Amino acid sequence: MDYSKIPSVTNLLKNEKGVKLVSKFGRDPFLDTSKIVLEQIRKDFANYHENISENLVLQLIKSSLEDSERKGLQKVINLTGTILHTNLGRAPLPKVVADKVKKLSTPYCNIEFDLTTGKRGKRTASIEEKFRQLTGAEDCVVVNNNAAAVLLTLSALTSGKEVILSRGQLVEIGGSFRIPEVMEQSGSILKEVGTTNKAYIDDYKHAVNENTGAIMRVHPSNFRVVGFNHETSLADLSQLAKNSGLPLIDDLGSGTLISLERWGLYEPTVIDSIQQGADVVTLSGDKLLGGPQCGIVLGKKELITKLKKHPLMRALRCDKLVLSALESTLDIYLKERYVEEIPFYYFLDREIDKLKDIASEITATLDSKYYEVVEDASFIGGGAMPLHQLKTVAIKINYHKPQLIAEFLRKQQVPIVGRIRNETLYLDLKTVYEEDIPYLSKVCGLLGEEIIDGE
Ligand SMILES: *Cc1c(COP(=O)(O)O)cnc(C)c1O
C-alpha cells in the first residue's frame, strides 16, 4: 500500500486550516489528535481509495477536536422536567448569586479578615448571622455537601457511641451515600429500632442506654413507605432526647427555608425542625435551598463548636466562592425575593398558561405534523417529594425513533436534554429559561426536515 499518499503532520501544520486549528485548540491537542486520525486512516486505507487530501484529514481532526471539547463542562438546556436534576447540576444558581461570585473571584477578599478590628476573622461569620435571622439557629458550619455535614456531625458528636435510628430511615441516597456506612465511617454505632414500616417512641425509649450518643432522624428523601406505617414525631423524639440528656440530630436532606404549602407541597422546613426540638439539623445547599453545592449544619452553639474543632472540619470546609454564593443566596431569602430570583421557585411558580405560550413560540417554525403540545407531569428531583407530580407542558415529538432525535438535540451547539417515555421524546418546558426560547425555536425548526424527513 502506498502510504505516501497520506499527508504528513509537518504539512498539516503548515496548512492554513491546520494553523487555525492549532491556534484554536492548542498545539499539543492538535498533534495528539492528528496522530490518532492518521493512524485510523492507515487502518482503513483501502476504504479511502487513496483519496486522502490534507483538507479531508484536517476536517477529521477538526471534528475530533470539537468532540473532545464537548466533553468539558458546558451549558445544557434541561427539558427533562426534573427541576433539581442531579446529572445536570442539581440547583441552577440565581443570576444575582453568580454575579456576586464573579465579583469576588478575581480580587482578594476578607474571607478570614475582620475589617473592623484588622485581626483574623471567622470564615463564616456573616453566614452564621444570616442563618440565625432566617431560622433561629444559634450557630452553623458549612462543608462541601450534606454527606460531609452528616459525617462531620456524627464524627464530632457520637464517635464510639450508639446512635438510635428507625429502621425505616436507613436510606441510601444517590448511590454512594448510605446512612449505615456513613455511621460506620464516623466511628458511631448504629442502633436500629422499630421495623421497616413502624417505629414507636417506646422502641426508642427501650434502646437508650449508658452508651447512647444521640437520637437521629433521617428524612427518607427519595423513597416513601406508604400504607400501614408509623414514624415517631420529631417533637416526641425531642422530649425523649431532653429527658435522657442526648442530642437530637435531624438530617433533613432537602431542607427548605420556606413553607411550600402555597404550591400544594409539604416538606418539613428547617424552622419546623428546630422548633420541634432538633439540636442539630443538616441539609444540602443545592436542593430546595437553591444555592451552591454545600452542606449546612445548624444547631445549638455548644454542639456546633465541637464540629468546628473537629480535625475533619479543615478537610471538609468550603472555598470562598461557595461561601460567597451561599451568603448571597441567603440574602435572597432575607429580602423574600426567592420566587423572582431562585430558579427552583421561579419554575415552581410559573403558570401553566405561560408554558403554553412558550410552547407556541418554540414550535412556531415547526410543521404541526411533527409535534403536539401536551399537558404532562414533571418532578421536583434532588430526592425531594418523589411521589409528587407537578403540572407541566411539554412538546411531544411525533416520531418513532426518539433516540435519534435525542442524539440530534444533544449534539447541538448548546446541548438540549429531553425526556423519553414510552418510546416518545418529550421536551418538558417546566425548567426552560425565557432567554433560551429563540435558540430552541431555531433548533426545533431543524428537526422536521433534517431528521424526521431525512430518514
Ligand atoms: C441528599 C441527601 C443527602 C446527601 O446530600 P448531598 O448534598 O447530596 O451530599 C443526605 N441525606 C439526605 C436525607 C438527603 O436527602
- Which class for 48: exposed (0-12), middle (13-18), buried (19 or more C-beta within 10 A)? middle
- For the CA of 218, the nearest atom of ligand 1: 13
- For the CA of 148, the nearest atom of ligand 1: 9
Tell whether 334 and 282 lie within a shared domain: yes
Comparing 178-182, 415-419, 438-442, which segment has the lowest mean pLDDT? Answer: 178-182
**pLDDT tens per residue across span 234-272:** 999 999 999 999 999 999 999 999 999 999 998 999 999
Q: What strands lie across the sheet with 162-166, from one edge to the other?
A: 139-143, 295-299, 280-284, 248-253, 212-218, 162-166, 189-193
Residue 50 placed within a domain: yes
**pLDDT tens per residue across span 9-46:** 999 999 999 999 999 999 999 999 999 999 988 888 77
Tell whether 250 and 160 lie within a shared domain: yes
| Residue at which a domain ends, from 294, 311, 338 | 338
Residue 50's pLDDT band, with cuts at 50, 70 and 90, is: low
Name the residue at shortest CA distance from atom 6 of ligand 1: 146
- Identify the pLDDT of residue 226: 80
- Identify the pLDDT of residue 421: 94
Enclosing domain of residue 34: 9-68
- Output the ligand 1 site: residues, CB below 6 A: 145-147, 150, 173-174, 177, 218-219, 221, 251, 253-254, 284, 295, 383
CATH code, domain with 386: 3.90.1150.180
Tell whether 167 and 268 lie within a shared domain: yes
Taking residues 95-123, report their average pLDDT: 96
**pLDDT tens per residue across span 275-315:** 999 999 999 999 999 999 999 999 999 999 999 999 999 99
189-225 b/e (C-beta count within 10 Å ≥ 16 → b): bbbbbbeeebbbeebbeebbeeebbbbbbbbbbbeee
Tell whether 205 and 104 lie within a shared domain: yes
- The pTM score is 0.90
Cell of 337: 425575593
Total domain count, the chain: 3
- For the CA of 383, the nearest atom of ligand 1: 15
300 CA distance to ligand 1 middle (Å): 21
Cell of 220: 427518607
Name the residue at shortest CA distance from atom 2 of ligand 1: 253
Distance of CA 143 to the CA centre of its chain: 16
The residue to mutate among 143, 154, 179, 221, having the most atoms of ligand 1 within 8 angstroms of its beta carbon, is 221
